[in-house]
Structure formats: structure tokens, C-alpha cells
A and B are shown apart, each in its own frame.
Chain A
Amino acid sequence: MKESIIVFLFFLFGFITGHFKFFPESPIHENLAILVIYFMLFTVGISIGFNARAWQIIRALKGKILLVPLGILIGTAIGGLVSWCFLKDMLLRDIMAIAFGLGYYSLSSMLITQFANPELGALALLVNMAREIIAMLLAPLFVRISGGLGPLSVAAAASEACLPIIVRTSGEFNAILAIFSGVVLTVCVPFILTLLYH
């Protein structure tokens, strides 16, 4: 939990400095973020390589490995349905579309803005960004609650920004599952959103 607090403090520091414009707004931040993500993924690859035996997971699970992304889709759908019970003023379709952003905030918010309206796009951005941030901050707690697959609940984002924290909290074995699940779910996002709105 100590690491989660440290990571949150880094986020908070960034938020405060950004809000009070201590640093000039610059596209360098975005480019740097992309570079950091690429570097992280490279490091994650190295971590996976340390434990070559992890590849036995995919072979051992065979078709069962598909149950991981399928399970996250089902869990997200259940979450969307329960949310609708609390947000009756919203359309179920809109809530499901936002939920099925699956943590892939950049693509989902853009698509929902195009398919529906900018307000829903902003909501998709908030929800999916929050999902990723919460997963990064609370990954150790998720491991305690749901075991090694817990942090994978960030869904599509699990294959990108959240992988390092998954490696640290769940281990390389689950990181392999996270990559597979993340890739499958990332591909699913545009298909599901298109299906919902057409």
C-alpha cells in the first residue's frame, strides 16, 4: 500500500502543478508520456523474459485463456446494469457504451463523442481514465480482494499503462494474461461501441 500512496502523491503533485500552471502548457508532456509508456512496456517485456516459464500459462490454459477477457466483459456489463439502477435519467445504451470503454479512454471518448454527443464523450473520458488511475493506485488492494487477476479488471488498459503495476503486484504470470486480455479487449472496444450505436 505504501507504493500506492507514493504513486498517488506523484499524481497529486502533477495535478497541482498543472492546475496552477507552474509549468507552461506544452505538447512535450504528452510526447514524454508516450515515451514513458513505451519505455515501461519495454521494461515489462524484460520482466516477462526473466520468467520464460510463464509462457507455459498460455499453453496450459489453451482456450480457457479467452475466459479472462470474456469474464471482464461480463463483469463490466454487470457493472453497467447496476449503474443504470442508480442513474435512471440516463439511457442504458449510453451507460453501457461508457462502461465498454474498458479503460481505453482515448479511443472510447472519441468514438462516443462521434456516435452520441460531447457530454457523453467527456463522461467516457472521466470514467475510463478514473478506472485506469484507480486500478494503478489500488492494484495491491485488488490483488487482496480478487487474487492475481484483480488488477486485470482495468480491462483494455491492462495491456498498456497498467502493465508495470500488474507485474509488480500480480507477477509476470498474470502479466502474460493481462497482455492477452488487454489486446483482445482493446480490439473489442470499437466493435462494441459501433454495435451499440448502429
Chain B
Amino acid sequence: MVIELFCISLGVPIGYTIKNNRSLIKVTDYSLLWSVRILLLLLGLSQGSSGNLLQQLDILGFQASIITFWCIVGSLIVAKLLNYFIYPFPYHN
């Protein structure tokens, strides 16, 4: 967690410094885009190569899907309520 916070903290002043440079903003956007894609590729690779997890997926899949689904639904409902009641800013894209 410390390293993660350090990485973010390191980027903030750099971003603030280059905030008026459109080309660098574009490069940053592309870096984000591709880092997400590469991470998912690596995640898929580790999941696919893990034979144990694939076997357990057959056994535990039903339970996992139920818990995952309802936890996300519950969080989304509360997130929507939070948007309505406490969030003073419109969502920014």
C-alpha cells in the first residue's frame, strides 16, 4: 500500500506541472489505456495457467457468482444513493 501511494504521489506534481501540455496529456491517456489492457492480459495469463483454480471454478463457480453478483448490486445501490445525497459534483468525464 505504501508503494502504491508513493507511485500516485509521485505522479501528481508531474501532472500538475504538465497540465497545459496537450500532447503530454494525450500520451498519459494512452499510457493508462494500454496499461489496463496489459494488466488484463497478464491477469488472464495467470488465471489460465492456474489449473487448480480452473478445477475449483467448476465446484465453487455457482457460489462465487451468487456472492459476487449480490455484493456488486448492493454496492451499486448504495453508490447510487451516495450520488444523490452527498455527492455535490456532477460526474466528470
Contact = CB atoms under 8 A, between A and B. Distances in A.
Interface of A: 3, 6-8, 10-21, 23, 25, 29-30, 32-33, 36-52, 57, 60-61, 64, 67-68, 71-72, 74-80, 82-83, 86-87, 90, 95, 98-99, 119, 122-123, 125-127, 129-131, 133-136, 142-143, 145-150, 152-153, 155, 159-161, 163-165, 167-174, 179, 183, 186
Interface of B: 1, 3-5, 7-19, 25, 28-29, 31-33, 35-50, 53-54, 56-57, 60-61, 63-83, 86-93
A32 B80 CA distance: 36
Nearest to B51: A19
A42 B7 contact: yes
A125 B71 contact: no
30 contacts: A10-B44, A15-B47, A18-B46, A23-B45, A33-B42, A38-B3, A43-B11, A45-B11, A48-B8, A49-B11, A49-B18, A61-B86, A68-B82, A71-B79, A71-B81, A71-B82, A75-B79, A79-B73, A80-B74, A86-B70, A87-B67, A123-B63, A127-B71, A130-B64, A131-B71, A134-B72, A168-B33, A170-B91, A171-B93, A183-B5
B43 to A, nearest CB: 6
Contacts of A43: 11, 28, 31-32, 35
B39 to A, nearest CB: 5
Given A18-B48, A78-B77, A11 B11 contact: no
B92 A148 contact: yes
A83 B43 CA distance: 26
B92 A171 contact: yes
Contact of A122 (B13, B42, B45, B56): B56
Given A41-B4, A45-B9, A82-B74, 20 more contacts: A6-B37, A17-B48, A39-B7, A40-B32, A40-B35, A40-B39, A45-B8, A49-B19, A61-B86, A67-B86, A75-B71, A77-B74, A122-B60, A127-B67, A130-B65, A131-B68, A136-B36, A147-B79, A150-B76, A171-B92
